[in-house]
Amino acid sequence: MRRLACLLSATLTAAAPSPSERVIAPDGRETLSVNGISRTVLVDPAALGIPIITQSYAQAAGMKPGMIEIGFRVGPVRIDGHTAVASIRSGPGEPFKRRIAFAEPAYAKGFDGVFGPASLADPVIRFRLRDPQPGERLVSLPMVGGGGMFGNWGSRYVVITIEGEPMRVILNPRNPRSTTNAGGAVRLARAYGGQLSGTPTEQEIVFGVTRPIRTMTLRTPVQVGPFAMAQLGVRTVDFGSTATIADADAPGDPDEVVVTGKGKHDPKRDWLSIGADQLNRCSAIIFDKPARQVRLSCL
């Protein structure tokens, strides 16, 4: 964990893509095939390691539900799915086999599936966000995630330490704002002096599910690599409760941060998602799997 706390090393200029890198366009749109059937999918740096395709795509590819079933939680909503092993071809290289999940709704509107950095066989994947600009620096963060008894199902992510416990940090340029769940918000509020404000607004997450989001302002910004975040969106009722965070719109002292016992809160469920409000400073996110690094080319 002490190694993970050493979060960044920087060079003065952004590096050009290597010929061995897989480069993903800003819209994430890629055409690949499952069991020889081609469809348009989203390649997303925030996606899980296990590919997720629609049930109709799985049927077209001749996939039959295997013994391993899978479920996805978006707040209180559960999406049930199945899994099967299939052959994937995602470029000029040889096809490779992966366990693939499939469910009735589409993970993202307009796409037949979603693949994360761990879903593809390429050792280095560069997500191009925009054209490079003069003065960008390349910042390296240690990458964790993956593994487990069924292989690399988990996403690839960065870790920071909050109140002595690790917290996952996901890079999510498709999300317009940086967000955290309720449990993560409570820890961040205690550590950095957080206060909620404003009325909830609905934001679509995945699978067409929307969740209420409020704004939390931090007295001291939370630092992750090149990003210093003083304001976050909070999914106030997902994986915890924000009832212990001071609320600027409630009676009482607006500067007061209320802290209570942790109860049965599981910090392993906490996450921080860095969205486009921060990543718009960056031209690329590079997942280097052999080096176990995430590199960000940012102003």
What's the pLDDT tens digit per position in 105-162? 999 999 999 999 999 999 999 999 999 999 999 999 999 975 443 445 567 899 999 9
Predicted pLDDT of residue 18: 63
Domains annotated on the chain, with CATH: 2-12+128-298 (2.40.70.10), 22-121 (2.40.70.10)
> Cα separations (Å) of 68 from 57, 62, 100?
18, 17, 10
Residue spans of the chain under pLDDT 70: 1-19, 146-154, 250-264
Q: What is the pLDDT of residue 35?
A: 98
DSSP strands (E only) in 143-262: 158-162, 165-171, 179-181, 194-204, 210-224, 227-235, 246-247
What was the pLDDT predicted at 265? 76
Asked if residues 99 and 151 have their Cβ atoms less than 8 Å apart, the reply is: yes
Select from 183, 188, 184, 251 the least CA-distant residue to 219.
188
Q: What is the pLDDT of residue 240?
A: 78
